[in-house]
Amino acid sequence: MTTERKRQAARANGAKSRGPVTAAGKAQSSQNAVKHGLTSAVTILLPGESEDQFRREHADLACTLQPVNDAEAKLVEDIANLQWQMSRAIRMNSHLLNLQMDAIADAVDQETIGASPEAQIALAFQNLVETSTALSTLDRHLAHLRRQHKYLRDELTRLQSLRIGHSGSGANATDSDFFNKLQNEPTGEQLPQNQQAAAPPEAPLASPPSPPSGPATPRTEPPASATGPVPGTHSAQQRSEPAGCVRC
């Protein structure tokens, strides 16, 4: 049970601590909560890692992906961070096997397993899997980083496709509107629609007369007279004589 005197001593000792004062001490203390650094988002670089190398890789990636706005630049920065963390995880895998090989080197009979490096790596891997979860944890984190990397690359591709498609569709719509406007303008050979004369309606076609239902009546010619022309008619000679001529 904590007594009052112990509580007062703890408060007095805590009041004396002010934390790190120098910049190096603050930088070191900021890494106290880092366990493996595989998912670090704020602090990407760990002690011993080259900041120049990280900046060069970031610049090369930006030159390749060509971001043109803040949203695309942020995605490129996140992709660069994930690539750096994936490279770190791969290096950690190699270091784990090297450390395990050194740890079992004295206990292993070299004549039994042979002197080949492949046999030593296999034995170190087997021993590490049986005695630790470091490799399985590392594999899970590496798979997570790769999924995040693929998601960000797909998102960047989607944003760039939308930007390119939007700019292209805007230009096509403008050209189409201008073309339609030119088509609707009247020319010298075409009158406006409100001034065009309406065409007269077409007359319906007359149907042909129907034939008579009864028998056809034969046509009769008047009989020619033997003594002279029929009254009311004139001969060809009478029609040819001029008016006023007396016939002898």
Q: Model confidence over 123-173: pLDDT tens digits?
A: 888 888 999 999 999 999 999 999 999 999 999 999 999 988 877 665 454
Higher pLDDT among residues 221 and 70, named by residue: 70
Contact 51, 67 (CB under 8 A): no
Inter-helix orientation angle 117-131/70-103, to 10°? 100
Res. 86: pLDDT tops 50? yes
Model confidence at 46, in pLDDT bands (50, 70, 90)?
A: confident
The token pair that represents 18 in the structure block: 């002010």
List, in sequence order, every beta strand (DSSP E) within 19-101: none
C-alpha to C-alpha distance for 241 and 245, rounded to whole angstroms: 7
**Predicted pLDDT at 248:** 47
What percent of the chain shows pLDDT beyond 70? 52
C-alpha to C-alpha distance for 241 and 237, rounded to whole angstroms: 6
